[in-house]
Chain A
Amino acid sequence: MQLTSEEKKMADGEYGYATQKAMEILVTLGDIYGAERMIPVSSVQVAGVSYANLEEAGLEWLAEMAKDGKVRVLTTLNPAGMDLEEWKRLGISEDFARNQQRVIDAFSRMGIITTCTCTPYLVGNVPHFGEHIAWSESSAICYANSVLGARTNREGGPSALGAALTGRTPEYGFHLDNKRQPQVKAQVQAKLDGTYQFGALGKVLGEKLGEKISYITGIPSASVEELKSLCASYATYGGVALFHIEGITPDRVSQIPVETVTITDEDIKAAINALNQETSIDFVSIGCPHATLAELEYIANKLKGKQVKKEVWITTARPTKQMADRMGFTKMIEGAGAKIAADTCCVVAPIKGRFVGLATDSAKGCYYGSGKNRFKVKLMSIDECIEEAIR
């Protein structure tokens, strides 16, 4: 790889240990993937934050990097394993809370904004069309590439941190025009409504097409909430970083692919059926990816004056929760006995085995709920989640 003199200084350790290590990671990845040079990035999202995933080893490495590492561009953070303020009422142990806080402190020392959300694009880290960025968090990567039209590869925690500390990323993959073109057309004939059905579509596409870049037609309109659900699910089940939706994705397409798959109502139904397990429900979670203000308002109005009979987590970003506090949504939701949990979610919180059955509107939540956390799961609409909660 060709490095500029400034990049060589970073690689030679002139800016300290962390910057050198960061450059070492980026150069190695660049060599593996055939990059010729580094390009500047203007925004980074770092994943790998929950202490449940990092444990001592990850924390130790981050602490080492935080000794002299400082971010050079706007950098935000993925969800933690707990609500940083109100962790006790989520049943988090003192031990876990202490360790999670050490992780957050290490990130904070490096100048990372500890947003603790998987939806950076809802809280001020919003890249524009064509902007080069380095994000981890598979759902946000997909959203940045496919909805915003920004350009990022699928970074892991350390390579995203490397980009933050150097302000660079190796130029390969989705940073290049010719690597962003669609390879297969996905004709959606199904009528889709609501986050859970868009999540089901993500599962169908992911399993049918894998990492192939699709050109999706037949979706005349979709809300931000539906798109973030589709992104999360498609990335989970297909490992994709980019897809095109006709009329939504800003990237110019030079040729619409000839190879076509068709997605019908039956496909969507089958995907939902495949996820739904026979189980009683004792845990309801909405907000994977993190709930928007509109979702909190909707849920608040649905729950007003009702009482939930199960553990209910509505997970969201801290700034969104603060606005919900101001608007009285939090009062309505928590008055009904449900909890708004900021900074965390049902995927990364240390709740393995704590519940029997999870009801959620998130197809991604189903995947990690049944795999990692060993729950039985049911995918349903937000309305049905709320009915289930108060039943």
Chain B
Amino acid sequence: MQLKGRKIYKGKAEGEAIVTKQSISFYGGVDPSTGTIVERGHELEGKSITGKILVFPTGKGSTVGSYVLYQMSKNGKGPKGLVLKECEAIVAVGCIIGEIPCIDHIDIEKLTTGRHLILDANKSALEFK
């Protein structure tokens, strides 16, 4: 199955999905040295996003979050790609400076954790079986 969205940042990525229905604050909500979600009470608390394709509705919180995405990416702890329902400025800027492939306008309800995803941001497309 293929879903079409909107390109936020170019590139391709393939890997396992990690999906949440809750928004994510990268500043304070994710530990950039381990790639683990640390926000108290978040449904992904304690889970690692490293090397995965992270699927979430939108970003929130401080604009410093952009640097956290960059930092994770530089340290090799970042997600391989991002898929969102609606991307806002913090995540968009994080993807640009961290060079993480990213698309939005995807119906993320159709996706579940563990599924194998092929993200082609250049074509604004997401494929899965």
A24 proximal to B (CB < 8 A): yes
CB neighbours of A60 from chain B (8 A): 74
A48 proximal to B (CB < 8 A): yes
B56 proximal to A (CB < 8 A): no
How far, in angstroms, from A347 to B96 measured CA to CA in the complex? 28
Q: Determine whether the beta carbon of B71 is less than 8 Å from that of A158.
A: no
The binding surface of chain B is classed by DSSP as: helix
Q: Determine whether the beta carbon of B89 is less than 8 Å from that of A32.
A: yes
B37 proximal to A (CB < 8 A): no
Assuming the A-B contacts A25-B97, A57-B71, A61-B97, are A136 and B89 also in contact, with contact meaning beta carbons closer than 8 angstroms in the complex? no
A342 proximal to B (CB < 8 A): no
Q: Determine whether the beta carbon of B71 is less than 8 Å from that of A47.
A: no
Of A21, A25, A31, A157, which is within 8 A of B64 by CB?
Answer: A157
Of A21, A55, A156, which is within 8 A of B90 by CB?
Answer: A156
How far, in angstroms, from A155 to B89 measured CA to CA in the complex? 9
How far, in angstroms, from A263 to B64 measured CA to CA in the complex? 33
Q: Determine whether the beta carbon of B64 is less than 8 Å from that of A54.
A: yes
A29 proximal to B (CB < 8 A): yes
How far, in angstroms, from A28 to B75 measured CA to CA in the complex? 24
List CB contacts (< 8 Å) of A125-180 with chain B. 136, 155-159
| Per-residue A-contact encoding for B86-117, CB less than 8 Å = 1, 0 else | 01111011001100000000000000000000
CB neighbours of A29 from chain B (8 A): 89, 92-93
How far, in angstroms, from A61 to B96 measured CA to CA in the complex? 12
B48 proximal to A (CB < 8 A): no
| Per-residue A-contact encoding for B29-66, CB less than 8 Å = 1, 0 else | 00010000000000000000000000000000001101
B34 nearest CB across to chain A (Å): 14
How far, in angstroms, from A152 to B71 measured CA to CA in the complex? 28
CB neighbours of B27 from chain A (8 A): 53
Q: Determine whether the beta carbon of B74 is less than 8 Å from that of A158.
A: no
How far, in angstroms, from A223 to B117 measured CA to CA in the complex? 57
Q: Determine whether the beta carbon of B96 is less than 8 Å from that of A28.
A: yes
How far, in angstroms, from A25 to B70 measured CA to CA in the complex? 13
CB neighbours of A53 from chain B (8 A): 27, 64, 67
Q: Determine whether the beta carbon of A55 is less than 8 Å from that of B92.
A: no
| Per-residue B-contact encoding for A240-252, CB less than 8 Å = 1, 0 else | 0000000000000
CB neighbours of A21 from chain B (8 A): 96-97
Q: Determine whether the beta carbon of B70 is less than 8 Å from that of A32.
A: no
Q: Which of B6, B66, B88 has the most CB of A within 10 A?
A: B66
